[in-house]
Amino acid sequence: MPGKARRAKKATSKATVHKSSRLPTKVLETKYIFVTGGVVSSIGKGLTAASLGALLEARGHKVSMMEFDPYLNVDPGTMSPFQHGEVYVTEDGAETDLDLGHYERFTSMVASRANSVTTGQIYEQVIAKERRGDYLGGTVQVIPHITDEIKSRIFDVAQGAEVVIVEIGGTVGDIESLPFLEAIRQMRVDVGHEHCIFVHVTYVPYIRVAGELKSKPTQHSVKELREIGIQPDFLICRSEVPIDHNLKSKIGLFCSVRPENVIAAVDASTIYEVPLVLSNERFDEKVVGRLGLHREIATPSLDGWQRIVNVLKEPKQEVTIGIVGKYVDLTESYKSLNEAIVHGGIANNTKVKIEYIDSETVEKSTVASLLSHVQGILVPGGFGERGAEGKVLAIQFAREQQIPFFGICFGMQLAAVEFARHVCGIPDATSREFALGLKRGVRNFVIDFMEEQKNIKDLGGTMRLGAYDCHLQSNSLVRTIYGADMIRERHRHRYEFNNKYRGLFEKHGMNLSGICRDRDLVEILELRDHPWFIGVQFHPEFKSKPLIPHPLFTSFVQAALQARKG
């Protein structure tokens, strides 16, 4: 019996010890930055991580970024936008958290499904391995099996990167985040102290009645981290008012962080000011020093970010864009879209005032009063019949009143429905998506299932997702806007324009100006004899950056400006 016990103990030890010497040399050379958050949720971990990525890139370093989300969903694809905000789609078709949008907008990285990991994905993979017998009959535990799976995802992203920035979702103290925090605690042992730093984003509340900033919540948050075994190297202290040196010293003393590594991050007027705020605190300089990063640019140029902030604070002109949708209560539901419109304004040195219009309030009697004052109308992506008729009325108003119109995904589909009904003479034209609520006998599904979608029952991960090629008509407006005859854009939808109606649409003045030739699908509708009327089946907002605005949004804002002047 003692011999068996010794053998069992030896086997357990072998399973749980993860020696850094077994890691690939390239992975060991990579630097790792782990970003956690405390005190309250929505504190800005994603923006902090993205801004640090932008600053490191400005210094000449190759950066990759990833996020761990602690919820059990495999991905956010079936989650309500009211709960979770928008679903961001990557080039390879992953449905991810909106923070990946920040990563791509602020840096040059092109995200993939490897850059977004949920608890659901981790457990799904570990259970699949256990079912295959990969663990040789051993007991499957959070440590080491779950934590090893988490670390393996980090090492996968580390391939080819000089610096990997990893955001841990949730708030320190949440039970859901514990496996991720334990995994990154182990990472410092695996890769070495000199290759790994912890950045903790926290909140320093200002008690207005007392006229004081309070550091106690930050102290308690760091205490939670230290009990797990993580000592932060840097504290990013969010606050409404500036934090002085005395308070930094106090926070540093009680949190065992050097005062110069307590970084003040006072609320900025725009998210694009955050890289400048952190740079003014010399955050990036301290990070590269702590990690021993070489080949850095001594004085990185942030002129582009400064120009963006200048335009947003002191624009030369203003234009109003009306977004007609059903998620008007939460701007997070259209996060990438909102930012892409702002980018279009930056390109035109213009402040864009976005006005959200609840599509359920748009009726024949109200459409003019709701939309007459805007210079551009945009109908975004979405799902379901609720509010759809209000969107159709808004599109009809834009078409008839010659107001610049931009339809994205569902917005493009409803533009097709509106055109079929009121121009092509098909009063019952509709989308297959609304079939359950329709009377029997309706035959004119201008928008219909793709053939391969007809027998699908699962909702998650079964849509047309990711980037596809689109060929542009040579004499089209979109060909001029893009300056290319072939583009590649990202999709997230289940229904398509019905090719049965192509000839009829062309006959009545609607150009089918973008085609996915590989699948013979209509991607872009463009109305002739209209100043600017474009509907796209894809989501161009996912590829827009503040430093490189998407051409469609730049052109749309420009058209709205011309409408305003006219």
Which residue in this structure is represented by tokens 């009809």? 396
What are the angstrom distances between the C-alpha of 308 and each of 46, 230, 285? 20, 37, 22
What are the angstrom distances between the C-alpha of 189 and each of 21, 154, 195? 11, 14, 10
* Contact indicator for 41, 206 with CB cutoff of 8 Å: no
Coil/strand/helix, residue 364? coil
343 belongs to the catalytic site? no
Active-site residue (options: 61, 195, 493, 539): 539
Q: Output the CA angle 97-344-358, nearest 5 degrees.
A: 65
Active-site residue (options: 471, 493, 541, 550): 541
Structure tokens at 92: 């390879």
Active-site residue (options: 237, 255, 409, 470): 409
Contacts of 51 (CB under 8 A, 6+ apart): 106, 274, 275, 278
Considering only CA atoms, which of 260, 267, 173, 284 is closest in space to residue 224? 173
255 belongs to the catalytic site? no
DSSP 249-293: HHHHHHHT--GGGEEEEEPPSSGGGHHHHHHHTTHHHHHHHHHT-
Residue 111 backbone dihedrals phi, psi, to 5 degrees: -75, 155
Q: How far apart are CA 410 and CA 539, in angstroms?
A: 10
167 belongs to the catalytic site? no
Q: How far apart are CA 436 and CA 166, in angstroms?
A: 44
* Contact indicator for 79, 87 with CB cutoff of 8 Å: yes
Structure tokens at 286: 């301290």
* Contact indicator for 342, 378 with CB cutoff of 8 Å: no
Q: How far apart are CA 554 and CA 376, in angstroms?
A: 13
Q: Catalytic site residues?
A: 409, 539, 541
